Each structure stands twice: as structure tokens, then as C-alpha cells.
Structure 1
Amino acid sequence: MQIIFLSPGWTILSIFVLWPLLQYTAALLCHKFPDALYTERTFLFRTFSFEKEGQLYVKVFRVNRWKHLLPDGSIKRGKERYEKKHLSDFSEEGLQKFLLESRRAELTHWLALPFFWVFGFFAPPMIVFYMLVYAILVNLPCILVQRYNRPRVKRLLERKRRKKG
């Protein structure tokens, strides 16, 4: 329900300024949560049987064809930054870190989805609908990629452990 009435120019400017701030807020929040939250025992991060170990995302969404186009949205800089775009550390610790950061990234995008409603305070209802569409188009591909990658990395980690043990 619109309670603040801005000119069209200010509305557009507010949207362009607010979306990145809201996305960044979701990312900061997810970095503040303890790492213990990001386990596969957490319901959200389980691989479900219908996902067929990530194959659903290949067959239905063809994730393997476009995932390289997505940016790495890590908010950390320098040595603290963890690159999820290309797996470079294949050690057990490196694979565990990838799984942790993958779960963190997925939660970040889930938390960013509902922010579209904020625009209802100062934008007409049709714009709020567009913000919902935008939120889905921007965040869902990132969620799909995380859900596609995790089972693959888990299999790699399990193979590594079997060889070791």
C-alpha cells in the first residue's frame, strides 16, 4: 500500500538506489550468521530426491549452459574473499569451504527475494509487481546454480574421503 508519494523521477531513483542496498543488506546479514547455520542438516540446504542430485537443474533449466554468465557476488574483498565462480582448492577443507559459501550464497538470495514489497511504500502497485518479477529474475538463477553445484561438490568430497580412508 503506497503511503509515500514521490514524483516518477524520484521513484525511479529510489528503486535504483534501494535494490543494491537491500541485496547488500541480505548478504551482510548472511555473513553475520554463524557458520553452524549452514549445514546440510538445515532443511533449506538439503538435496531433495526430486532434484536428482542436481540433474533437475540441467534437464529443466539447463544451468550448465548459462551459469558461467552469473557474477560472483562475494561482498568480502582481499584475502577474505571466497571465489565461488571457479573451484580452485580441491582439498577436503577447500571443498567444505565451497559448500559453506554455497549455502551462504543461496540463503542470501532467498532473503533478498521478499524485499520487493518495500517498494510498495512509495511506488504504485504495478511497479511493485515489476519489482517482484525483477527479484525473481535476479535471485532465482543464483539459487538454482547453488542447488546444482552442491550435490556435485558433495560427491567429489565423498570420493576424496573414500580414497583417503
Structure 2
Amino acid sequence: MKMSDELLLLWNVVGWLLIHLGVSYLFSRMPLSWFTEPRSPFVAGLIEPSAREKLWYEEKLLVKKWKERLPDGGAWFKRGFVKRELSSRQSDYISRFLLETRRAEWTHWLTLALAPLFFVWNDAVADMIIIVYAIAANMPFIIVQRYNRYRLRRVERSLWGRE
């Protein structure tokens, strides 16, 4: 039996809502220690943004013009960490902020990776729409977290004379 278009649309909307909220909640409950520095230099090279990457975000993607328009999901959960602005220059706060940018980035990567679940009940056209949505709904947040993490590293180095 084929689902009606309205029911299929409802199924997709509810599915994405559950994935976004579920993954966000799950990651908000994870210990912060899970997001500490990677031990492998290879992994660290993939996780930590480079100066070239930051420049690309600024010059090609114009991240400074639109990043403030994105919602900050950190305020949505009891244990959430608001990343809207830098509210302290204390060492502990900067360290926590850095870890929270990693947590947020991984939240969006996992959400994006779950898009193929929708292929089970959608046709090829809907699958393409799902992929476009997943990228559009997650990549801006991933970009902002990586961009901010690079900037926070610079703040960290300048505050503690490591630049």
C-alpha cells in the first residue's frame, strides 16, 4: 500500500524533528570529556580547523555576514551551553567553549549522517530533497562551529602567551 503524499510529508517532517531533537538531547547528555583533544595528530588535523579553512569561510562563504542569524541550540536544553557570544576570558570558560564547539559540530555531523534513514520510505526525488535539506540544515552550523573554534584557539593563545 502506497502512502499518500500528505502522510509521507508528515512522516518526513516528524522524522527530522525527532532526529534533530533526539541527537541534540543525546549529545547534550554526553560527558564533556568525550570531546577533548584527539590523541592522534592525523585525527587532530581533521578535527581542528586551519587558518586556510577559516579564510575560506570568511572570504568565500562570508560567514561573518550570516552566522549571527543561526539559532543557538545550547539554550534549548537544561545542561546546554550558549555559544552565541564570548562572555568571559577566563581559562576554564574558553576551554569549555572549545569543547562545546566540538560537541555542537559532532551533533550536526551525526544528524546529517542519518539522512539515509529516509531512503527507506521515500522515492528517488524525495531522497534528493532529503539530502539537500540535511546539508542545508546542518552544514552552516558545522561551518560556524569550526570557524569559532579557530578563533577561540587564537584567543586562547593570545591570553596565555602561546602565540
| TM-score (norm. length: structure 1) | 0.85
Structure 1 residues 71-150: aligned runs within 5 Å: 71-74=71-74, 75-77=76-78, 80-150=79-149
Match of residue 17 from structure 2: 20
Render the CA deviation track for 1:29-73: whole Å, top value 9, x for unaligned.
32343323312326242224642xx22210121101100010001
**What percentage of aligned pairs have identical amino acids?**
33
Change (3 A) 1:98 1:115: same
How far apart, in 2, do the equivalents of 1:32 and 1:121 lie?
29
Change (3 A) 1:81 1:33: closer
2:41 is equivalent to residue 38 of structure 1: no
Alpha-carbon RMSD across the aligned residues, in angstroms, is 1.9
Match of residue 65 from structure 1: 65
Q: After the TM superposition, list the runs of 4 or more consecutive aligned residues in structure 1 that deviate by more than 6 angstroms.
A: none
Name the aligned partner's letter for residue 154 of structure 1.
R
SS in 2 for 1:41: coil
How far apart, in 2, do the equivalents of 1:93 and 1:160 lie?
12
Whether contact under 8 Å (1:5, 1:123) holds in the other structure is no
SS in 2 for 1:123: coil
- List alignment gaps of at least 5 residues for structure 2: none
How far apart, in 2, do the equivalents of 1:81 and 1:36 lie?
15
How far apart, in 2, do the equivalents of 1:155 and 1:48 lie?
11
Which range moves more in the overlay, 86-95 or 24-33?
24-33
Name the aligned partner's letter for residue 110 of structure 1.
W
Change (3 A) 1:62 1:129: same
How far apart, in 2, do the equivalents of 1:135 and 1:153 lie?
27
Higher relative contact order (CA 8 A, sep 6+): 1
How many residues are matched? Answer: 156
How far apart, in 1, do the equivalents of 2:80 and 2:33 lie?
19
Match of residue 47 from structure 1: 49
How far apart, in 2, do the equivalents of 1:40 and 1:16 lie?
35
Match of residue 5 from structure 2: 8
Give how far 1:95 is off: 0.8
How far apart, in 2, do the equivalents of 1:149 and 1:62 lie?
14
- List alignment gaps of at least 5 residues for structure 1: none
